[in-house]
């Protein structure tokens, strides 16, 4: 998400370099601290929202688990009453709720990972903000002493390597994008066949479940 990208940029920021590049170092460091404080508030809000979303997804999964049990009981009742059609319909509901439960389980896991990412970003940003507050005066003083001597050296030390690295990164992103587009097209072409096979597999599972349920109920 864009918020994490902004936080990552702030965390990676080299305060010495930022001040060295600034025409007004004191103003720059104060602005960086202000930006960090603003982002910190936003990340805290996002952590709270993400945790709330996780709890909601967990609740939805539990509700679907209950539905699986409820419709299985109905299928058993239909078998006891020799109502195969009703039993099949109930088992179809069982399968549907099971699939939704599996989907919610995956979402819960993904949401947990997102919560941890946000918490990690929050901790790093808090640490960086503490560092900035502690070093603000020191960095400004160092800048005033060293700017004249180090400017030319800093400019020459990484320009070529950084340029090559940026070009290589752009090439990698372009290749990755083209691969993703190709894969997406292939998946779109295969969707129809996969859907038809999935329907057959589900029908087979329903019949298998019905047979097992009838055997279990002695029907």
**pLDDT tens-digit map of 157-203:** 555 555 556 665 776 777 666 766 566 555 545 556 666 777 888 88
Domain hosting 128: range is 2-164
Q: What is the mean pLDDT of residues 3-30?
A: 68
Q: DSSP string of the chain?
A: -HHHHHHHHHHH--HHHHHHH-SSHHHHHHHHHHHHHHHHHHHHHHHHHHHHHHHHHHHHHHHHHHHHHHHHHHHHHHHHTT-HHHHHHHHHHHHHHHHHHHHHHHHHHHHHHHHHHHHHHHHHHHHHHHHHHHHHHHHHHHHHHHHHHHHHHHHHHHHHHHHHHHHHHHHHHHHHHHHHHHHHHHHHHHHHHHHHHHHHHHHHHHHHHHHHHHHHHT-
Evaluate if residue 92 carries a pLDDT over 80. yes
**Tokens matching residue 151:** 């400017």
**Tokens matching residue 219:** 């029907």
In a domain, 121, yes or no: yes
**pLDDT classification of 109: cutoffs 50, 70, 90:** very high
| Across 124-128, 160-164, 210-214, least confident range | 160-164
Evaluate if residue 73 carries a pLDDT over 70. yes
In a domain, 36, yes or no: yes
In a domain, 94, yes or no: yes
Evaluate if residue 115 carries a pLDDT over 90. yes
Angle at 100 between CA 97 and CA 106, to 5 degrees: 145
**Tokens matching residue 206:** 């329903």
What is d(CA 74, CA 209) in angstroms, rounded to the nearest whole number? 13
In a domain, 73, yes or no: yes
pLDDT reported for residue 86: 94
What is d(CA 111, CA 7) in angstroms, rounded to the nearest whole number? 19
In a domain, 120, yes or no: yes
In a domain, 170, yes or no: no
In a domain, 147, yes or no: yes
**pLDDT classification of 131: cutoffs 50, 70, 90:** confident
Q: What is the mean pLDDT of residues 122-145?
A: 79
| Across 88-97, 112-121, 135-144, 208-217, least confident range | 135-144
Evaluate if residue 2 carries a pLDDT over 70. no
What is d(CA 166, CA 160) in angstroms, rounded to the nearest whole number? 10
Mean pLDDT, the chain, rounded, equals 79
Q: What is the mean pLDDT of residues 38-51?
A: 90
In a domain, 217, yes or no: no
Tally of structural domains, the chain: 1
pLDDT reported for residue 32: 79
């Amino acid at each position: 998400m864009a918020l994490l990208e902004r936080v990552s940029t702030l965390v990676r920021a080299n305060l010495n370099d930022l001040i060295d590049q600034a025409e007004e170092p004191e103003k720059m460091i104060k602005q960086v601290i202000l930006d960090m404080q603003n982002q910190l508030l936003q990340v805290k809000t996002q952590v709270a929202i993400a945790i709330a979303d996780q709890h909601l997804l967990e609740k939805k999964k539990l509700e679907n688990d209950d539905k699986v049990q409820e419709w299985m009981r109905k299928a058993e009742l239909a078998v006891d009453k020799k109502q195969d059609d009703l039993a099949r319909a109930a088992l179809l509901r069982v399968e549907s709720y099971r699939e939704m439960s599996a989907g919610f389980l995956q979402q819960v896991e993904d949401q947990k990972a997102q919560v941890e990412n946000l918490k990690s970003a929050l901790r790093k940003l808090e640490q960086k903000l503490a560092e900035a507050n502690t070093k603000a005066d020191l960095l400004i003083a160092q800048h005033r002493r060293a700017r004249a001597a180090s400017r030319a050296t800093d400019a020459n030390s990484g320009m070529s390597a950084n340029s090559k690295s940026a070009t290589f990164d752009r090439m990698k992103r372009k290749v990755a994008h083209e691969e993703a587009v190709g894969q997406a097209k292939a998946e779109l072409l295969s969707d129809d066949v996969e859907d038809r096979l999935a329907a057959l597999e589900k029908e087979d599972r329903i019949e298998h479940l019905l047979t097992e349920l009838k055997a279990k109920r002695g029907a």
